[in-house]
Amino acid sequence: MSVRDGSVTRPRGEARSYYGRPILKEPVWKPEIPLYLFAGGLAGASSVLGFAARVTGRERLARTSLWVGLAGELASPALLVADLGRPERFLNMLRVFKVTSPMSVGSWVLAGSGAATTAEAACEALGILPRLRLVPAAASAALGGPLATYTAALLADTAVPVWHEARRELPFVFGASAAASAGAAAALLLPPGEAGPARRLAVGGALAGTAAAAVMERRLGFVGEPYRQGAAGRLARAAGAAALAGAALLAGRGGRSRAAAVAGGALVLAGELARRWSVFEAGFQSARDPRYVVEPQRARLSARGATPER
């Protein structure tokens, strides 16, 4: 405990602050970051889906997921470099490997999966090394899961209450969201007859992501208020509505109608992008208001028995 109480008494039920000013700094990240959260998740889950499709003999699904994954893998570093305060120093990201920094771990994961996916895509495009290409395919599939969920650990490993206090739920929100995105992208690009597994993944991911987001918001309680207010609230509601509508369309008519598959896939993709963006925005709203910092910390202090001397 860092405070030794003197005799000042505190007005009950009212968080005190310094002119209402924030205690934390808002993140300095720009829209490239929520776009990356989406693109990285899409890439990671597409690598897993593509490899699974390859080993179960679904060649068209495997190829489509490979191209989707490659697009995500190539977009990701570009978005991340663009967001740096010193883009010309982007290579410093690989200067060390630091387990205490989810961003360092994630940079290596992204570098590895990007290289593996690019190698696999090159083999595919050139039509060479039909067996050896399974090695990079397996590597990018193995890194796909971590690529989709490390960003949740990254956000949770900050002092921002709405992110840090969601550390148990956020990876599941992001993992499900990534699965839904990968499934939706493949369902959108493939003829309905080839896209059964992709549709199932999109529907399951959208349902799981919406459920995980609801659990997260409920468990956060007061700290989760940003998900009900302002930009984060609007995005969270839009995410749930679009993802569920898209899932319903894919499940209901996606197997018969190409138009329904395209519309449903696009809705799920839009919903999952909005979901990432709502989490991103919630962090800013959470950091901005000192009540989210002071009230839980005060509650923690009184749960430990006021402020005893140690």
Partner 1 sequence: MSSLEERSTPLAWPESYGEEARERVGFFTDTSVCIGCKACEVACKEWNLIPQRELRWTGESYDNTSALGSEAWRHVAFVEQRAPLRLDGDGPERVDGALRWLMSSDVCKHCTHAACLDVCPTGALFRTELGTVVVQEDVCNGCGYCVPACPFGVIDRRELPAADRPGPFAGKPDGRVWKCTLCYDRTKGGHEPACAKACPTDSIQFGPLDELRGRAERRLEKLRSEGWNGARLYGEDGQDGVGGFGAFFLLLDEPEVYGLPPDPVVPTRRLPELYAAAAVAAAALVAGVAGALLGGRR
Identify residues 61-90 at the interface with partner 1 (CB under 8 A): 83-90
User: Going residue by residue from 200 to 239, which x/- string records binding to partner 1, judged by CB under 8 A?
Assistant: xx--xx--x-------------------------------
Q: How far is the CB of 136 from partner 1 (least distance, A)?
A: 17
Nearest to 146 by CA among 174, 167, 119: 174
Q: What's the token pair of residue 188?
A: 């959108």
Binding-site member from 107, 117, 181, 285 for partner 1 (CB under 8 A): 107
Residues 252 and 260: beta-carbon distance below 8 Å: yes
Residue list 25-54, contact with partner 1 (CB under 8 A): 25-29, 44-45, 48-49, 52-53
* Alpha-carbon distances of 47 from 165, 233, 235, 281, rounded to whole Å: 30, 31, 27, 28
Residue list 138-197, contact with partner 1 (CB under 8 A): 144-146, 148-150, 152-154, 156-160, 163-164, 167-168, 170-172, 174-176, 178-179, 182-183, 193, 196-197
What does the alpha-carbon distance between residue 120 and residue 130 come to, in Å, rounded to a whole number? 10
What does the alpha-carbon distance between residue 10 and residue 8 come to, in Å, rounded to a whole number? 6
Task: Give yes or no for residue 14 binding partner 1 (CB under 8 A).
Answer: no
Task: Give yes or no for residue 112 binding partner 1 (CB under 8 A).
Answer: no
Helix 59-83 / helix 32-55 crossing angle, nearest 10 deg: 160
238, HSE (Cβ side, Cα atoms, 13 Å): 19
Task: Give yes or no for residue 265 binding partner 1 (CB under 8 A).
Answer: no
Q: What's the token pair of residue 114?
A: 């990007």
**# residues near partner 1 by CB under 8 A:** 97
Binding-site member from 71, 74, 82, 104 for partner 1 (CB under 8 A): 104
Residue list 280-299, contact with partner 1 (CB under 8 A): 283, 287, 290, 293-294, 297-298
Residues 277 and 235: beta-carbon distance below 8 Å: yes
